[in-house]
Structure 1
Amino acid sequence: MENVYENTSVRVLCSKLVLYKNEPGLQWLIGSPFFPPLTVVSTLRCIHTDASSPDYHRESEELRTLLFKGFEVIGALIFANSDAEKNAGEAIAAARRLRKLFCGEREKMDSQQVIGAVVDLNGGDIKFFVSKSKSSKSFECVNVLYEDDPEKYIWERGCLLRCELPLKLPIYYPVNKPSDLEKIFRRATEAVVAKFKDPKIAYMVEALRKTSAEVPQPVILRGVDLDFDTDLSNVKLLDERTQNSDADSLSCSHFCLESKKGSPVYSAVHADRIQVSVLLNRSVNSEKSTAPVAEYFPALEEARVLVVDYKLEVLCYAVKGLPLRHAVSKLIIPGLVDQFNLVGNTVLPNLLAQHPQLHTYHFSPPGVLHPITVVYELNYGETEMKQVEVRKSLHLRLGLPFDRPLLRIANAVDFFARDGVRSDPTRKGSTLLKDVHLGIPSSGVSGGSVSMVQGSYEYYHYLQEAFNDSGWGCAYRSLQTIISWFRIQHYTSVEVPSHREIQQTLVEIGDKDPSFIGSREWIGAIELSFVLDKLLGVSCKVINVRSGAELPEKCRELALHFDNQGTPIMIGGGVLAYTLLGIDYNEASGDCAFLILDPHYTGNDEHKKIVNGGWCGWKKAVDSKGKSFFLHDKFYNLLLPQRPDMV
């Protein structure tokens, strides 16, 4: 591993180091044994405290699940308004104590360098201090370097390893001594943990590639050949050019693409992926032919059996030069053991009752450079308070906003599925174009600030699905686009309604007469707000302007909407309706442009044709020829859907 660093500088990869400026608290700094020392990949908030200090046991247990193997705690960040070095010492002491629990026997208590960062409560400046070792009483104040392309830094040199292992663990216990069940269960789980390191066990390593001309043959690693003693920091990385076909001298790079064509995208979803499977050899090679032998162990008293189901799924991060035998022994096996123990400890209190249904999910939330792992209890529905509280605590730890669902099951990413995306029932069968505005020409506003829709949507327009709504259905189509946004962002699983279903909804709430169903009557912003409230429980804000000439005066308010809410806006004026996706506004000059998605398009769903035809693009209130996009003799209503306050 790399153990030399430039001029004792801290290198920061994450763009957001302070998670909550107005709510100071202790934050853990996360790094990797595969990076140069003092490289901060991310930061996680300490959310469990006991009196005035962290609850180190709960913190270590949760971080052990949340973080992939290949990432670890390397320091802590604390807020203070005086005596920075003293507070840095407290942060370093906290980080060392957590590392001792988090890393366990792997922790070299005296040799590990640890970072203590101190944020000034008044000015917000951050000072970084480094402790060379536990025995060192002084701390060195060091410089900080910020990485320009952190995703490339992580994923160009690294890859993902995955191991999925379903287990059924039978537990036999005496009927007359149910109190012995816990002891028997623990003994059985200890036996399983020991099996992971059994000399007879084997691990098959193979590549999982979406596109590749030549896929290397799988490699078998046997338990007897694994190295459980060498610390990761002392493992010598292999040069790909010097590797041979011997399994002991192969590294993870053997299963990674040598080069990525074109302009490679660096992210967890696009990372090289390696699958590891567990094989147990119950036979021993022998020169003599032998018959199988069955052994009989009679129960000395009446006994019962219960079976505990485990569905383990572990993901790890490794640098590509890491030898495969160390990737398995130092990442995969510890990951399996940790997850196996987590499930066992959760099931233990309910061994004789209904067992919790635990399932592992992986997420790649925005702003977090590395994926995370979460184990959810499926006995509870996603909207039940217990699950909501679990997600809220995760949002708090990761510094995620509390007004959008980012860690629901539908947000989970299957890094080993096609295209890296888990099957999503909210989008099954959809062939509509998504995010049509991506890649369009700039607005032409000089010195403007762009505020855009946040997240994805589908483009609904005239004549789709062989339904002729030309001349009257533009507001219906805008509503469908808005509802698709809420579906794709996982706020709802409600299907995007048809024109008739929209009309039916308005009749049901008493806004329209029954004769409205099946008609070609227009609807406007107010009707759209009724439907969003009824079907999705979404409230809306409505802006009224007396003339299209007044719309530029609302640019500041519209920009704030996109910055804070991020939902598409419906604009209705006269007999026309549009979907607004963004604002480019120069506050000093007043120049502005509106990013319009036009539902009046009647052609095929061809992106180039739509953009070139101006059906999705920036519109100036008054163009270079003096033509007004918004009519001056018509009033306009703007419907601004509000994000539900939920996680």
Structure 2
Amino acid sequence: MAAVHINRNVIETLATYSNTADPFFGVLLGHESEAGWHVTGCCCFTDSSLNNFTNQKDSVTRYLSGGLSVCGIFFENQSLQADDIVKKVSKYPLQNQNGLVILVKQPKDNKVTEDNIFVSPDQNTVEKPKVIDITEDLPALITARLRCPLTISVKVAAKGSLKNSLSNVIENLCNTLSSPSAVYRVQDTEVVFNSSSLVGLPNEAVCSRLLDLTTSDEDEFVSGKQKHSKSYKQRTLKCEVLQNISIADDSGEGTLCAPIIQHNLEKFQAVTLTLPVDVCCQVTADTTVLTLGQYMTTAICNQLRAMQDCFVQYVEGDVPPKVQVFHFQPWKSTAIVSVIYPEGKSEEKLESRRRELHSLFCLPLSRPVFRRGNVSLFPEDINQNGYLINPHQYINTQPMKDGQQYLVQGLYSYHHYMQDRFDDNMWGCAYRSLQTLVSWFRFQGYTDKPIPTHREIQQALVDVGDKEPKFVGSRQWIGSMEVTSRIAFVSEGSELATKGRELAQHFQIQGTPVMIGGGVLAHTILGVDFNEVTGDVKFLILDPHYTGAEDLKVILEKGWCGWKGMDFWDKKAHYNMCLPQRPKVI
């Protein structure tokens, strides 16, 4: 194996996990490319015994997006010698034609570095990879998404027979999807493919060709008056599944012939279920289209079996629940995992399920990751509610010399003057900044309550005794002191230069947007660029005073979202900074 590229967030996850869990044991997840393995995730097993290993590994695959697979193993070992590692690895059924990534941590060693990383071409030998790259910038992946509701009818012959009947129907459906009769079409193209055939492109075509064939509604804008080229990060290939009924499937029901109708008269109970298939595949640009077809089929079948598990777990009598598919990115990397939840269950009732997921994916129990509000947004989903999401991600600027950028973690929506057909020009900036803060808590899954209107904010302040009843419906300002949080105060704008380290720490630990106001207009701080040596600092500002339409190009070019120096602040005005704190929940 030429190289191993590991996302830094995975290393940090494992380093934290090693201090809290016993055993330190599990599998590494990654994407394959010509450059080697790109490790983007990890799963922790509660039992390192050989008997349970296969079952645990198989259960993991039901969550994985297509193209994301078990690429290695991690464990604790006294020795880092190759022979000792081979003895451990060879016990487990982990054969992989492209070799395995192995991460070994010695007892009482809390660090995970390049010295802990090995590869095994065949499980009988262990060596150091030629290249080990621990990075935050793994190659961008192409995402293909297939959404297709499938309706099935399940015969319930007797009480309690639903589980077996459902299993048979799901397996028959998987057999059909795995047969040559099932094909995938890329929307807006004439390309049709599966794992063994390709129409519309040469058989050796790679997935970057599919991206070139598709057209987006509009090019993504990058500040600096540049347009994106075909951006893998910002594009999703939309696919659909079709069945070619003119060729036989592999169901074993015989060769093609004239249609035959069988009519059996029988009394029985049947349950009709809709399976809302929503599958993602993530591949590198050099992955062949035929391989994408293989990944797509595997991902669909894994998701159907996961739906079966959900039906059985939450069935009431012989009536299974409706289910929904949610995609998450648990390690702050590009890797996507998919979870099936029953409809109608509150977040409180699903807490035990989320605890299982946190344990499986090596995640702490202090932050929500698998709440429905944490769902990953695809490009086609981002602006459905009419607000711009994370406009700062499109700013094309380099960090300050010898500085380091500390940014807001997660998603938020941009709220500003004159939105929602409501005229708050010249007085509503703090309300809008507060709405941006609330949106962050919604997107991170801390609350499912809607973003409050100006009137609702005013009523809340009256209810807690902060304002008089006449405040409701007025055009009076509010400030950052009205927001429950940690408050930092400076008597003059020039003193904000001394807050660089404090803000950097806030964005590292809490990651929430910061509301700033006081003697002057309110703004939202999304990050800082801070030089530890000189104390120089720049601020990433989201300005709620913008009054125009949701035009990303205008917002970035005119500086409504952008980096500002100390000259941005009024040196004579006082400022309060509201630093929202994350609650410790899952």
After superposition, what is the alpha-carbon deviation per residue over 1:32-63, rounded to whole angstroms, capped at 9, x for unaligned? Answer: 5x64596243341223326x778324422322
- Identify if the C-alpha distance between structure 1 residues 205 and 309 changes in structure 2 by more than 3 Å, giving closer, same or farther: same
Q: 1:575 to 1:30 in 2, by over 3 A?
A: closer
Among 136, 155, 159, the residue aligned to 1:171? 155
What is the RMSD of the two structures over their aligned residues, measured on CA atoms?
4.4
Deviation string, structure 1 residues 526-545 (Cα, Å, up to 9, x no partner)? 3233xxxxxxxxxx101233
Aligned to 1:430: 386
Task: Name the SS for the 1:506 alignment partner.
Answer: helix
Determine which of 256, 266, 271 is the counterpart of 2:210.
256
With normalisation by structure 1, the TM-score equals 0.71
Q: 1:84 to 1:607 in 2, by over 3 A?
A: same
Q: How does 1:156-555 map to 2 (within 5 A)?
A: 160=144, 162=146, 164=148, 166-173=150-157, 178=159, 191-196=172-177, 202-209=181-188, 215-216=189-190, 218=192, 243=202, 256-258=210-212, 263-264=228-229, 267=232, 270=235, 272-278=237-243, 280=245, 294-299=261-266, 303-307=267-271, 309=273, 311=275, 312-316=277-281, 322=288, 324=290, 330-348=294-312, 350=315, 352-365=317-330, 367-381=332-346, 383-385=347-349, 387-398=350-361, 404-413=367-376, 419-421=379-381, 428-431=384-387, 435=391, 438-439=394-395, 446-462=401-417, 464=419, 467=422, 469-529=424-484, 540-555=485-500
Q: CA deviation at 1:117?
A: 2.7
**In the superposition, relative to structure 1, how do residues 170 and 250 fare at CA in structure 2: closer, same or farther (>3 Å)?**
farther
Q: Aligned pair in 2 of structure 1 residues 172, 550: CA closer, same or farther (>3 Å)?
A: closer
2 CA distance for matches of 1:153 and 1:456? 19
Query: Residues 463 and 361 from structure 1, CA distance in 2 versus in 1: closer, same or farther, beyond 3 angstroms?
Result: closer
**Distance apart, 1:187 and its partner CA:** 5.3
Give the TM-score normalised by the residue count of structure 2: 0.77
Asked if residue 12 in structure 1 is aligned to residue 1 in structure 2, the reply is: no
Select the residue among 41, 44, 47 that pairs with 2:42.
Answer: 44
Q: Deviations over 1:569-625 (max 9, x none)?
A: 22233254333333333332233333444445566766666666665554444x4xx
CA distance in 2, matches of 1:524, 1:179: 60
Note if contact 1:78-1:88 (Cα within 8 Å) is conserved in structure 2: no
Share of identical aligned residues, percent? Answer: 27
Which of the numbers 497, 510, 516 marks the counterpart of 1:571?
A: 516
Provide structure 1 residue ranges, at least 5 long, that are not aligned to the other structure: 100-106, 210-214, 228-236, 244-248, 530-539
Deviations 1:2-53 (A, max 9, x none): xxx5xxx442253344223143222312345x64596243341223326x77
Corresponding residue for residue 90 of structure 2: 93
With over 3 angstroms needed to count, the CA separation of the structure-2 counterparts of 1:160 and 1:90, relative to structure 1, is farther
Pairing 1:15-164 to 2, within 5 Å after superposition: 15-18=8-11, 19-24=13-18, 25-31=24-30, 35=33, 39-49=37-47, 55-85=52-82, 88-89=85-86, 91-93=88-90, 96-97=92-93, 99=94, 113-120=99-106, 121=109, 124-125=112-113, 126-133=115-122, 136=124, 139-146=126-133, 151-152=138-139, 155=142, 160=144, 162=146, 164=148
Q: Distance in 2 between matches of 1:254 and 1:439?
A: 25
Kindly provide the amino acid, as one letter, of the partner of residue 14 in structure 2. Y
- Amino acid of the residue matched to residue 527 of structure 1? E
Amino acid of the structure 1 residue aligned with 2:483? L
Residues of 1 paired with 2:166 and 2:424: CA distance? 65
Relative contact order (alpha carbons < 8 A, sep ≥ 6): 1 or 2 greater? 2
- Asked if structure 2 preserves the Cα contact closer than 8 Å seen for 1:28 and 1:46, the reply is yes
Higher Rg of the two aligned structures: 1
Structure 2 unaligned spans of 5+: 19-23, 220-226, 249-254
Displacement of 1:374 in angstroms is: 2.0
Q: Aligned residue pairs: how many?
A: 557
- Counterpart contact for 2:5–2:132, Cα < 8 Å: yes
Judged with a 3 Å threshold, the aligned counterparts in structure 2 of structure 1 residues 72 and 461 are, in CA distance, closer, same or farther, namely closer
